[in-house]
A and B are shown apart, each in its own frame.
Chain A
Amino acid sequence: GDSVTQMEGPVTLSEEAFLTINCTYTATGYPSLFWYVQYPGEGLQLLLKATKADDKGSNKGFEATYRKETTSFHLEKGSVQVSDSAVYFCALDPGTYKYIFGTGTRLKVLA
């Protein structure tokens, strides 16, 4: 069945460091891919999305490229801030509008 695998955390970085959170997926067909962020005490917020191969989603300095050849959608940011500390979820929609989420990766950014 369809699934999402993302790197385990926590990921701890110093402020202004480069961030990569890996996400790979298994799906038949052509899923849409998402990154959601969950700040402490809040609900999930859509961070970025990509709907077809080679699309790049971007928002708030974060980027992810839909790579069909490697079935990946890695999240990157060039310079993280303390305020980026949160849990990040990779998710896919296999075309049924029913999302499948990864297990989440906790990011801690130290000042």
Chain B
Amino acid sequence: EAGVAQSPRYKIIEKRQSVAFWCNPISGHATLYWYQQILGQGPKLLIQFQNNGVVDDSQLPKDRFSAERLKGVDSTLKIQPAKLEDSAVYLCASSLLEQVVGAQYFGPGTRLLVL
């Protein structure tokens, strides 16, 4: 089966600009996650969707970050306006059932550099 797809793979922007990332999960996966991975750190969960509803967005900086999953399939993460500290790899993951342990599948990530 096809894996989790993400685009773009790389993005360079200047601070205060806006940027959007796209994720297409594995077909049939109801749960979708966005993680932020800053250089030298482990991934940190930003937001979790179950179908098209938000389960947890407690770690999402809502003053500048937004995410949506309108039809319960693919998802978009947006940053507006970007700050230097947003430079990171943004990882998308999906899982078939929330209750299945260890079943998160990760995409290759989008590497963002904010200048």
- Residues on A lying within 8 angstroms of B by beta carbon are 4, 32, 34, 36, 41-46, 49, 51, 89, 91, 93, 97-104
Interface pairs (26), CB distance under 8 Å = A32-B101, A32-B102, A34-B102, A41-B108, A43-B3, A43-B91, A43-B105, A43-B106, A43-B109, A44-B43, A44-B93, A45-B106, A46-B104, A51-B101, A89-B42, A89-B43, A91-B42, A93-B101, A97-B31, A97-B95, A98-B56, A100-B42, A101-B42, A101-B43, A103-B42, A104-B40
Interface size on B, residues (CB 8 A): 24
Contact with A along B71-115 (1 / 0, CB 8 A): 000000000000000000001010100110110111111000000
State which residues 25-79 of B face A: CB under 8 Å: 31, 40-45, 48, 56
Q: SS class of chain B's interface: helix, strand, loop or mixed?
A: loop
In the assembly, what is the distance between CA of A41 and CA of B107, in Å? Answer: 10
